[in-house]
Amino acid sequence: MTSTEPAPLFHHPDRNLALELVRATEAAAIRAVPWIGKGDKNAADKAAVDAMRLFLGTVNFDGVVVIGEGEKDEAPMLYNGEQVGNGRGPACDIAVDPIDGTSLTAAGRGHALSVIAVSERGTMLDASSVFYMDKFVTGPEGFGTVDIRRPVGENLRALAEAKGKDIGEVRVAVLDRPRHEELIREIRAAGAGTRLILDGDVAGGINAARHDTRIDACIGIGGSPEGITTACAVKALGGFMQGKLAPRDDAERARAEAAGLDCDKILELDDMVSGDNHFFVATGVTDGALLLGVKKNGPYISTESIVLRSKSGTIRRVAAEHLAQKWLDPDFL
């Protein structure tokens, strides 16, 4: 059977989409720079949101925000359900975090990122009705070795054996929060060491999944939106991740059930983002272990970004220099 209708230009997220998405994370990171160390995380976030949204409007895709700024940032833009892109390319789900680490940015600390993840339409879990998720991220050695339901010490000893390490060499990234006091004690009691994260556990999860870092695992309760975003990156890296939604009270559990979420289910990677055709891009806002932050070098602004593509299993680093004069125009695209 033939048709006179022209074939669509795109069926799935295209490899060139990644470089367009990098423009949006670069823009968000650059616009946040004037607010680094100024103590106003909301102003930093707003500057990044405005820039990211403006650039996303030029990208050739039909995106729906599944993981957006949402309730935690009280954001009027890049909210869950918002349509982004110019509508002329592939239909995609998108997760955005214009600044993962707004408190880090406001304090002038390292490890803040601007982040976007994209997958085919209908493949990204909408966990927005539950604020927190318990997560366990490792490299590929975690498959068949780690299970979030088992005691932490048992998991870490098994992971150490799978990686050919002594347990004393294992390093675990954990958000430095009162809720993790017992978790930290268990990690140290097992003989492993901790790397406490002040904020921004997306970078912690990525470093745990990569083969060339000193972080062997990232464990603990963090934001559920960040969990889904991290899952996109971990899947592209071939890493291991499990999660479990962690409602704060009965009302939140009820909202989750109304949204069709099972708070008792152990979420595997395919539950968080299904398929194998998605991108993760991030640009450094401030210097960190994953990426360098934005810097002004004479007449240029330099940025460093990472681009992950699950379909090809490719990791790319993008170093860019931007003529600073262009960024003096608030409407510059």
For the annotated binding site, the residues are 45, 69, 97, 100-102, 132, 177-179, 199-201, 223, 226
In the structure encoding, which two tokens stand for residue 207, read together? 């470093």
Q: What is the dihedral of CA 72, 73, 74, 77, to 10 degrees?
A: -130
Eight-class DSSP state of 212: S
Which residue positions form the known binding site for Mn(2+)? 45, 69, 97, 100, 226
In the structure encoding, which two tokens stand for residue 67, read together? 């993981």
Which residue positions form the known binding site for substrate? 100-102, 132, 177-179, 199-201, 223
Nearest to 18 by CA among 64, 57, 59, 62: 59
Nearest to 35 by CA among 97, 100, 102: 102
In the structure encoding, which two tokens stand for residue 84, read together? 């982004």
Query: What are the E-state strand segments in the chain?
Result: 62-67, 83-84, 91-100, 113-120, 132-138, 171-175, 193-197, 217-223, 240-245, 267-268, 278-284, 295-297, 300-309, 314-323
Kindly provide the b/e burial profile for residues 29-57, where b requires at least 16 CB atoms within 10 angstroms of the residue's own CB.
bbbbbebbeeeebebbbbbbbbbbbbbbe
- SS3 for 266? coil
